[in-house]
A and B are shown apart, each in its own frame.
Chain A
Amino acid sequence: MSLQPGERRDVGLADLLDRLIDGGVVLTGDVMLSVADVDLVYIGLRLVVAPARIVSESIRGARSVEGEHGG
């Protein structure tokens, strides 16, 4: 069992995004970016993992074509 977040880089990034997307204190009276801009960034942060999603969905698709008894 791992107690080091840096040990597995891929999972580390996913975990980090999971935390950063909703985590952290936000002050009002901000800043140089509008709320809409910030929202766009959070969509972008979710997109960081999108390539993996597309790959895994295509794998799942291929497996379900192979046969219904596999699952």
Chain B
Amino acid sequence: MDAGTVVHTYCAVPGATEVGTAGGIDGSSVSTVAVGRVALVIGELSAERYGADAWRKHATDSEWLAEVVGQHHAVLQAALAETDVLPLRLPGIYQDVAALRRIYAAQEDALAQALSSIRGQVEMGAKVYLSKATPAAASAASGESGRGYLTRRISEAAEREESRQRQQAMVVEAHDTLSQQAKRAVVNEPQDPALSGRREPMLLNAAYLIPRNSQNEFAACSETLHHALASEGLLLEVTGPWPAYNFAELSLSKAPAP
């Protein structure tokens, strides 16, 4: 390895797995390094362009980050098509393979355990948006009595409240139904409209860890829910399969087994 390169880590996969030859960041090649039972998917990148100084320099450069993040994810997505993928947090750069081995070998057990906790599983995402706002309060129609207007306003407000409660219950029910299909589920903060790219408020932002071979059932279940929610003015959007970004955990606090 020459001094002009750094090692970038993408993800961990089960040992002795060959990942596809799809290109990595900056068109670099992707390879694996075995660390005990686990294989690390890595790439050698230009130190000048992707070393520590480059990350510091571009830390708030959204264009640079978006590009690196996209290319990093593409490697994980390609690996996911073939095997179990444990995402490693960005930015993971090491001086060389020897340094990488040193750090990972020391934590091989925790890593293997984290990988086995997502074995045979993929992540699906579900978001629910309020697609149809409850009807807006009407203004007084011409010729309507003050009393008539007030009565109408009150009954409309009651309807809105009922509709809001129905929507809330349906979102909870949808999450419960999807969770039943999943091994694990997490509910994240709803994204704000700037992030979601939708003007409608997001009511649910959840991720589900499901068996790889039950994706069809999950899709069918989502489809049914999609229609049920649509009838209440709610939009369900399902994405995936993703690498298990929301379920990649390393339990280092646990004492090693005696």
Contacts and interface: CB of A to CB of B under 8 A. Distances in A.
B97 interface: no
A31 B242 CA distance: 26
A52 B197 contact: yes
Interface residues of A, number: 46
Contacts, number: 157
Interface string A28-40: 1111110001101
A29 B103 contact: yes
Contact of A27 (B60, B107, B226): B107
Contacts of B194: 49-50, 52-53, 56-57
A51 interface: yes
A48 B61 CA distance: 8
Contacts of B28: none
Instruction: Name the residue among A1, A17, A40, A44 with the largest chain B CB count within 10 angstroms.
Output: A1
Nearest to B205: A18
Given A44-B60, A49-B195, A1 B89 contact: no
B170 interface: no
A25 interface: yes
B89 A24 contact: yes
B202 to A, nearest CB: 11
B179 to A, nearest CB: 18
Contact of B195 (A1, A3, A18, A22): A18
A66 interface: no
B219 to A, nearest CB: 6
B183 interface: no
Contact of A19 (B91, B223, B245): B245
B73 A14 contact: no
Contacts of B92: 30-31
A11 B197 contact: yes
Given A3-B238, A52-B194, A53-B194, A18 B61 contact: no
Contact of B103 (A12, A30, A53): A30
B197 A17 contact: no
Interface of B: 6, 12, 51-52, 55-56, 58-62, 65-66, 69-70, 72-73, 77, 86-95, 103-104, 106-107, 111, 114, 125, 136, 139, 188, 191-199, 205, 207, 219, 222-223, 226, 236-240, 242, 245-246, 248-250, 252
Given A12-B239, A19-B246, 5 more contacts: A5-B77, A20-B89, A24-B248, A31-B93, A41-B90
16 contacts: A1-B226, A3-B219, A3-B222, A11-B196, A11-B198, A14-B196, A16-B70, A16-B73, A17-B69, A25-B89, A25-B111, A26-B250, A32-B52, A37-B52, A40-B56, A41-B91
